[in-house]
Chain A
Amino acid sequence: MEAFNTFARHILLVVTTFLALCATATAQQITVYSAGSVAVGQTRQLTAYVPLSPNTVTWSVNGIAGGDATVGTISGTGKYSAPKTVPMTPTVSVKATSTANADKSGAVTLTITQPPVQLWSISPTSVPLGPYTIRINGANLIASSVVYAGDVALKTTYASATSVSATGTPSAAQAGKQIAITVRNPGLGGTTSSAVQLSVTTETKPPEPTPTPTPTPTPTPVPTSNPPNPGAGLGTANLAAGRMLEQAAFGPTPAELARVNQLGVNAWLDEQFAMPESAIPDPGGMQSGQLQQEYLSRLSTAPDQLRQRVANALGQIIVISMNKNIYPNEMVPYLRILSRHAFNNYRDLLDSITTSSQMGKYLDLANSNKPGPGGGANENYPRELMQLFTIGLSMLNADGTPQLDGAVKTIPTYDQAAVQQVALALTGWTFPGPNNNNWENFSGPMKPVDANHDTRVKNFLGCTLPAGQNTTQDKDATLDCIFKHPNVGPFLSLRLIRSLVTSNPSPAYVQRVATVFNDNGAGVRGDLKATVRAILTDAEARNDAAAVSSGRLKDPIYHVVSFARALNGKISLANGLPWQFSQMAQTPLTPASVFSFYSPLYRIPKSTQVGPEFQIYTPTESVLRGNLFWQMISNPGGDFTLDTSPFTAVASDTVKLIDAVDQALLYGRMSTPMRQTLANIITAQPDATSRVQLALYLTALSGQFAVQH
C-alpha cells in the first residue's frame, strides 16, 4: 500500500552527536529513523539517534543479528537490504541496540513490497456514460495488475510493464463526477498506485448500432498520444560554468554562462575582480522602499556580479537592518562600505564599519560615553563585533571545528568582562556635528570625542590597552587585537563558504581557505580578494559531481533573482517585490535582527546537516516562492523583464523543450525519470503556452533548482 515509494530511498546513517549547541536533558532513548516501505531487492539506510556515549549500536532484523536472506539483512552501519522475495510476514522489525547499554534499544518497522506499481497517466481522461476503455501508462505493471475505478475492479488487459488497458462501465450515479483510477499489484507485498481522476460526463454514449451477436465488437481504439521518451538530454557541457555562476554570481545568465565558458574560471574571476564597482545611488530624495527595489534590481543586473555576491554575503555577517535604520541615508553609506571593501582587507572593513554613523545608530556605539563610577558603556556593538563579525562565541580549530576541553565542552572565546572592556575602549564616538554628543546625523562617519572617551587601562582577549590612549588609538588597538585572534580566519571562512558555496563544507576546505585568509602568500592577513578566490577555486567548490552533503538552499531573494537571470531577465527598477519578499521572511535589507535573516548555524530539522536558509523555508514560504515563480512565468507584469522565447521556439517539440529547460535551470543535470515525468505532463497540455509554462514551473519548483549544488 505504499504507492509513494517510487524510487529507492536511502537514508544514510547518522549516529547523531548532539553537541552542546542543542543539548537539553533528553530522555535516554534510542530513536530509529524511519519507518516505511522497501521494495524487494532494494536497500534503505536507517538512522539511529543515540543520546548515549559511546553512541554506537548493533543492528538486528526480527531479532536476528545482522538479519538473513528471508527477512533481509542489515549492515553494521544500518543499511538494510530487503530480501529477494516478499517474506510470508511482509513486515519486519529492525532494531538498534546500544553497545553502551544493552537495555537501550529502538526499533522501526519496515514493510517489504513488490516493486511498487505506478500510474503516470490515463487516456482518455474523461468518458461518457456507457462502457469505456482506458489505457494506463505507468511502471512496474505486471500480468496480474488490476485497474480499479474507485473500489471496483475493472477487466484489465496487460500490454507491457508500462502499459495496460481496462474496460468498465460507470454507474448512472457517477455521471458528472470523477472516479479515482488506481492500479493494484495483488499478492503478498502488493502495492497500489496513486490515483488519477477519470471524469464521467453526463452525456450518454450514442446508441450502439443494431447489436449483432458476432463478432464481438472490439473496443474502440483509444487515441494514443504517448509521450516521447526524452532520453538523457544534451549533457552537462554548461555545468561547470553554471555552478561557478551560482557561487560567484546570482546565478548564470545565458551571456555570463558563455563568458565563463570562454574565459575559464580563473580569467573570469580576474575580470570580475577588476570590474568597476556598480554605483549605489545617493540616498537623497529616495524613499525607503525605492532603496529596497533598487537593491533587488541591482542584484539581477549588475555586471560586477562577484562583488554584489560577496558584498551581500558580508552584509549577512555584518548586519544593519532597515527595521531600525529606516531611511536610505541610514543605509546607503553602509552598503557602499560593504561593496567597496568586498575585495579589500577585512581589517579595513572593520574600521569603516566601526566608525560608520549607520552602524553607530544600529548598534548604539554613537554617543556611548565613558561611564560614571560603577557604570558601564554601551555593550551592544562591542558584543556583536566579537560574536558575529569576527571571532564567535567559542574557540575554533584552524579548520573551523570547535575546540573542546577535557570535558568535551566548547571553550568560550570571551566573557562578559571582556565585552565591558571592549565597550570602554570604544567609548567617545558621536555623530558628525559641532557638539561632543550630536543628534543622529548620517552625513559622514562618526567623529572621535576624547572628552567622552574612557582612558583607563583595558584588558581583553589577552591584549592590554594602556591607560591614556585617545579615542582613535583605543579603537585601532581594539580592532587590531580582535582581528589578530586566531578564530577570525576559520570563523569568517566558514561563513563565507556557507553563503557562497555549500552549507556543509569539509573542515579541510575551511582550513585551506582560512590559511589564505591568515596569509595571502605575501604576508598579508585578511585579504578578502585572496580569500574569495580561495573559496571559489577550491577543489571542493569546483567538483561538479554533487556529493551527498553538497549544496546550499537558495534564500528567497537569490532563488528569485537566479530564476530571472536564467530566463535572461531582470528585476525592474520599480518593482513590488519587497512586500512579496517580506512575506517570505526576507524583506530586502531588513533582517529581523543583527542575527540576520537566518542563523548560519541552523540545522535542517531532524538532521545533523547545517542548512541556514532552511530557517526561513517552511511550507508556507515554499508555496509563496512557488507562487512568485508562477507570477514570473505567467504574468511578470512590471516587476520583471524575462525572455521565454528560447522555450516557446521549441514548444511543439517536447524533447527539445525539456532540453532547453534542463540546460537553462539545471545545466543538463535533470534526471531521466524527471525528464520522463515532464515529457508525460507536457504532452498532455493543450497548447504551446501551457507546455512552456508547465515545463519551466515544475522545474522551478523542484528541489534540484531550489538548491545550488
Chain B
Amino acid sequence: MTNSAQFPSRRDLFRLSAGSAAAAAIHRLGVTSAFAQSVPDYKALVCVFLAGGHDGHNMIVPQSQVSYDAYMKIRKGLVLPDGNTKLHQITTKGGTPYAFNDGLAALGPLWLQDKLAVVANVGMLVQPTTRAQYLAKSVPLPTNLFSHADQVIQMQAGDPNGSGGTGWAGRAADALQAMNAAATFPAAFSMNGAALFCTGKVIQSASLYPGFDLSLNGMSGWPASAAAAKAQALQDIIKLDSGVSVIQAANKVRQDALALNQMLRNAGKTASLVTKFPGTNLGQQLQQAAQIISLRASTGISRQIFFCSLGGFDTHSNQSWTYWDLLKQVSEAMFAFYSATAEMGVADKVTTFTESDFGRSLEPSGTGSDHGWGNHHLVMGGAVKGGDLYGTFPFPALGGPDDSGNRGVLIPTTAIDQYGATLAKWFGVDAASMSSVFPRIGNFTTADMGFMG
C-alpha cells in the first residue's frame, strides 16, 4: 500500500480497443466468436452477506447433552426448538452432534453430500486474542467492535481498521489479474450496489441489480429499424476518437454496457437454467450470479467474485420467527444456486460462503439478542470438504474463556483473515501473494483452515 500520487513518467495513455470488439458482436447477433476462448480453469467466490449481524448461536446449536444443557440455561426465551423453529439434526465427521436451525433445512442434503461446511466462531481480529488479553486490552483490537457501520466495512475489507478502501475479495482478484487478462468482462459483480468487498486496487465492483437489465431507456422506436438507427447513432458517437484518453475510457464503459446487455440477453434466451430460483431478493441475486457464470466460456473470464446480501439480521426483538424466516430465504436461495452450478457442471468451481457484520450475544435481550463479535458461518460448494465443522465451537458459558464479557459475546477463535485466506488459496492466490490480500495473515497460526479440498 502506498500513497504514490504520480508516475515518474507520464506519457501514459492507453486507448482501449476491447470495447470495439464487443460492439462488433452486438451488430452481429449471436456472434460470440470475438469472445470465444477456452477457459480451462474457471473459479468463482460468492459471498452471501447476512447484513445486521446474524445469530449464529441459533443457526447451529450444540446437541451433546452437556453443551445443550448449558445453551438452554443461558438462551432462555431464545432456546430452540420453539413454537416457530424446529431443529434439523446433523453430525460432524468426528461424530459430534449438532442441529441446524430448521430454516436451513433446504441445505440439509448438501451437508449429507459433504458439500456444506460450518466454520465456527469466525470474526475480526488483529491477532489471536484471549479473554484475559481482551479484558486487559493488552493486545491490539479491531476498532469499533459491535458497531454495524464499522464492522460491515471491516469484514468486507478484511482489515481491523476498515482501512485501505479495498475489499479482500477485490484484492484476491487483483492478485489473480493475469488469469483474467483475456477477458472483456467484469471480474467482480455486486448484486447489491457497489460493494467494498469487490473493490480492489485495480478491480472495480460492477453492480448488477436483480431484474435490472442494461437496456438504455429512450432508445426504443417504431418501426424496429428506427430503434436500430438510434442504437447505431449511439454506437457511432461513442466510437468516435476524441484524442482524449479519459473520454475514450468513458466511452468504453458505455460500449461495454451495450455489449454486456447483449450478452446477458443472449444468455437469458439461450442458456436459461432449468433450476428454479425462489422469488426472494436473495434468490434473484443468486440467479443473476448463476446467469453470469453461465457466460464464462464466451467472456473469457477465469476468476470471478460475486457479492450478494440479505438484510434484516439485526434481531434485537422478535428474533425467533424473524430469524427462521431469514434463514429459510438464505437456504432456499443457496440451495438453488448450488443446483444451478451443478446443472452448469461447475459445482466444484464455485464456492459460496456467508459473512456478517458480527455475531450476537448468547444471552438474550428481551425477545432478541444484542450485537456480538465471533460468529458461525456456512461454506458451500463441490470443492468444500463438507459435512463437517471447522474451527473451534465454543462451549456456551457466560463469562467463560470465549466470552469477551459476561453476556456470551464470543471472542473469535478464527480470524476472518484465516477464513478468507482458505477461500482465497482455493481461488488461486498463492502463499507469496496472500499478504497482499490479508496483510495480517502472518499473525495467525494457520492460513488454511482445511475446509477447501
Q: How far is the CB of A269 from chain B (nearest CB, A)?
A: 25
Distance of B269 from chain A, by nearest CB (Å): 17
Residue of B nearest to A393 (CB): B3
B208 and A620 within 8 A (CB): yes
A694 and B246 form a contact (CB under 8 A): no
B224 touches A199 (CB 8 A): yes
CA of A21 to CA of B166 in the docked complex: distance in angstroms? 13
Query: Within 8 Å of chain B (Cβ to Cβ): is A549?
Result: yes
Checking A26, A34, A684 against B226 with a beta-carbon cut-off of 8 angstroms, the contacting residue is: A684
Given the complex, which residues of B lie within 8 Å of A6, measured CB to CB?
236, 239-240
A607–B16 CB distance below 8 A:
yes
Q: Is the CB of A31 within 8 A of B216?
A: no
Check A22/B202 contact, CB under 8 A, given A380-B161, A607-B249, A611-B249: yes
Provide the bound-state CA to CA distance between A583 and B199, in Å: 16
Q: Are B250 and A620 in contact (CB under 8 A)?
A: no
Task: Tell me which residues across on chain B come within 8 A of A608, comparing CB atoms.
Answer: 7, 12, 14
Assembled-state Cα–Cα distance A593/B155 (Å): 13
Determine whether the beta carbon of A592 is less than 8 Å from that of B153: yes
Q: 1/0 per residue B200-241: CB within 8 Å of A?
A: 011011111100101111100001111011101111111111
Contact B216 A626 (CB under 8 A): yes
Residues of B within 8 A of A681 (CB): 229-230, 233
CB atoms of B244 and A671 under 8 A apart: no
CA distance A549 to B10 in the complex (A): 9
Is B432 located at the chain interface by the 8 A CB criterion? yes
Among listed A12-20, A165-173, A348-356, A517-525, interface-contacting one:
A12-20
Restricting to B157-197, which residues have a CB under 8 Å from any CB of A?
Answer: 161-165, 174-175, 177-178, 181, 186, 193-194, 196
Q: Tell whether, in the assembled complex, residue A400 and residue B6 are in contact, meaning their CB atoms are under 8 Å apart.
A: yes
A58 beta carbon closer than 8 Å to chain B: no
Give the Cβ gap from A552 to chain B, nearest Cβ, in Å: 7
CA distance A178 to B224 in the complex (A): 8
User: By the criterion of a CB under 8 Å from any partner CB, how many residues of chain A are at the interface?
Assistant: 135
Q: Does residue A622 face the partner (Cβ distance < 8 Å to B)?
A: yes
Closest to A699 in B: B237
Closest to A34 in B: B17
User: CB of A643 within 8 A of chain B?
Assistant: no
Are A548 and B13 in contact, CB atoms less than 8 angstroms apart? yes
Does A175 lie at the interface of the complex (its beta carbon under 8 Å from any beta carbon of B)? no
Contacts of B136 in A (CB 8 A): 374
Number of residues in B with C-beta < 8 Å to the partner? 100
Cβ-defined contact, B196 with A14, below 8 A: no
Q: Are B143 and A378 in contact, with the CB atoms below 8 A? A: yes
- Specify which chain B residues have a CB less than 8 angstroms from the CB of A698 in the assembled complex: 230, 233-234, 237
Is B224 touching A626 in the complex (CB atoms < 8 A)?
A: no
Residue A126 is within 8 A (CB to CB) of chain B in the complex: yes
Residue of A nearest to B175 (CB): A24
Q: Please, which residues of chain B bring their CB within 8 A of the CB of A371?
A: 137
Task: Please give, as numbers and ranges, the residues of chain A lying within 8 Å of B150 by CB-CB distance.
Answer: 324
B291 interface residue, CB < 8 Å from A? Answer: no
Residues of chain A from 324 to 375 with CB closer than 8 A to chain B in the complex: 324, 364, 371-372, 374-375
Q: Which residue of A lies closest to B182 (CB)?
A: A31
A364-B143, A619-B186, A703-B250 known; A17 vs B17 contact (CB < 8 Å):
no
Q: Which of A120, A549, A677 contacts B237 (CB 8 A)?
A: A677
Contact present for B10 and A582 (CB under 8 Å): no
> Which of B12, B24, B143, B241 has a CB less than 8 Å from the CB of A504?
B12
Which residues of chain B are near A21, meaning CB under 8 Å? 1-2, 4, 201
A155 sits at the interface (CB 8 A): no
A626 contacts B6, C-beta separation under 8 Å: no
In the complex, what residues of B have CB within 8 A of residue A703's CB?
Answer: 238, 242, 247-251, 254
The residue on A at minimum CB distance from B137 is: A375
Within 8 A of B (CB), among A1-52: 2-14, 17, 19-22, 24-27, 31, 33-36, 45, 47
A324 to B193 Cα, complex, angstroms: 18
Provide the main secondary structure of the chain A interface: loop
Residue of A nearest to B141 (CB): A376
A8–B240 alpha-carbon span in the complex (Å): 9
Measured in the bound complex, the distance between the Cα atoms of B432 and A692 in whole Å is: 58
Tell me which residues across on chain A come within 8 A of B143, comparing CB atoms: 364, 378-380
Q: In the bound complex, do residue A36 and residue B247 qualify as a contact, i.e. CB atoms below 8 Å apart?
A: no
Nearest residue (CB) in A for B144 is A364
Nearest chain A CB to B24 CB, angstrom units: 4
Is A195 in contact with B5, judged by CB distance below 8 angstroms?
A: no
Question: In the docked arrangement, what's the CA distance between A21 and B436, Å?
Answer: 11
**Which residues does chain A contribute within 8 Å of B74, judged by CB atoms?**
none
Contact B5 A601 (CB under 8 A): yes
* Complex contact A707–B246 (CB within 8 A): yes
Determine whether the beta carbon of B163 is less than 8 Å from that of A383.
Answer: yes
Return B260 CB to nearest CB of chain A, in Å.
Answer: 5
The answer, among B17, B24, B246, for a CB contact under 8 Å with A552, is B246
B interface residue numbers (CB < 8 A to A): 1-18, 20-21, 23-24, 27-28, 136-138, 140, 143-144, 147, 149-150, 153, 161-165, 174-175, 177-178, 181, 186, 193-194, 196, 199, 201-202, 204-209, 212, 214-218, 223-226, 228-230, 232-251, 253-254, 256-257, 260-261, 430, 432-433, 436
A609-B12, A620-B212 are known; give 17 further A-B pairs, CB within 8 A.
A10-B241, A14-B11, A20-B4, A34-B16, A199-B223, A376-B140, A401-B6, A551-B247, A601-B4, A609-B14, A614-B249, A615-B199, A618-B205, A618-B253, A674-B236, A674-B237, A701-B254
* 27 A–B contacts, CB within 8 A, in A order: A3-B24, A11-B13, A19-B7, A22-B201, A25-B433, A34-B18, A125-B225, A194-B232, A195-B28, A380-B161, A402-B2, A410-B4, A553-B249, A585-B193, A592-B196, A601-B5, A604-B246, A607-B249, A614-B250, A619-B206, A619-B260, A621-B253, A626-B216, A627-B216, A698-B237, A703-B251, A707-B246
User: Which A residues are within 8 Å of any B CB, using their own CB?
Assistant: 2-14, 17, 19-22, 24-27, 31, 33-36, 45, 47, 120-122, 125-126, 178, 194-199, 321, 323-324, 364, 371-372, 374-376, 378-380, 383, 387, 392-394, 396, 399-402, 410, 413, 490-491, 494, 503-504, 506-507, 510, 546-553, 582-583, 585, 592-595, 599, 601-609, 611, 614-623, 626-627, 630-631, 633-634, 671, 673-674, 677-678, 680-681, 684, 693-694, 697-699, 701-704, 706-707, 709
